[in-house]
Amino acid sequence: MRLNKSLVCKVPKLMRKIIFIALLIGVTLVVWNKTTQSSKTVVIDQTDYNLTFSVSWDWGMEERLSLNEKGGFWPLAESEWFEIYKKPYNSGAALYIDDRRKTIFIGTRYKLGILDLDEGTLSFTCDKSKIPALSNFGEQITTFGNREKDETLDPAAPSFPSYIEPKTLGDTIPVSPPPSKYYSVLQYLGMFGIVRGDGRGSEVGFAPADKAPEPRVALYVHCG
């Protein structure tokens, strides 16, 4: 059986076109992700882990947290993409560590994040019973529905979630973080969020506890 020479020539050309189109699509997706996403990573001291907060600006807005081993390429665990409501005001993640330095609690407004430093696991829950106990002062603060009372009792504290102010940006968690004002057995580490800017913002940053005050009752969850 004799092969048609024109068909033999067309096959490599067709393959080259397919490869070119695939590469073009891949490059387009990479560029799209670079221009519509921003991430910030902080090292968790005295552990083998990094924590990354990402925001995606698309037709809507979403946020996600990822746990990585230092030097690792793939995340050990990551949250789902949380849709940011009232865009972009309800974005951010406040970080706390317990007094045994075994667990990091993450307030996202949508769900409570729990990072087990011994096991290297990151999970998210709507179970309010998992929120650490409030301090005496924290019990006085209304968690929602009475902003006037909150401002009277706690006038210096930012609400949560909120923008990150450019002057408060940092790259590291404090070595000696302060005790939380609102939770009895936690230390406040800092907060991820969108840096204040034009429109919906375009940059994600981290405000460590030694540069910005603790947001008000940030571990409260607003899901099912």
**Per-residue pLDDT tens digits for 105-154:** 999 988 999 999 999 999 999 999 999 999 999 988 865 557 777 788 88
pLDDT of 19 strictly over 80 = no
Tokens representing 3 are: 């092969």
62 assigned to some structural domain = yes
84 assigned to some structural domain = yes
16 assigned to some structural domain = no
d(CA 203, CA 38): 6
pLDDT value at residue 113: 96
Q: What is the mean pLDDT of the chain?
A: 84
pTM of the model: 0.81
140 assigned to some structural domain = yes
**Per-residue pLDDT tens digits for 193-208:** 999 987 667 799 999 9
Mean pLDDT of all residues in 204-215:
95
CA angle 55, 58, 64 (to 5 degrees): 25
Q: How many structural domains does the chain have?
A: 1
**DSSP bridge pairs for 98:** 186
Residue pair 220/143 in contact (Cβ under 8 Å)? The answer is: yes
7 assigned to some structural domain = no
135 assigned to some structural domain = yes
213 assigned to some structural domain = no
Q: Single out the residue of 166, 162, 51 nearest to residue 109, CA to CA.
A: 162
Least confident of 26-35, 69-78, 104-113, 176-185: 26-35
214 assigned to some structural domain = no
CA–chain centroid gap for 24, Å, is 30
Domain with 71 in it:
37-208
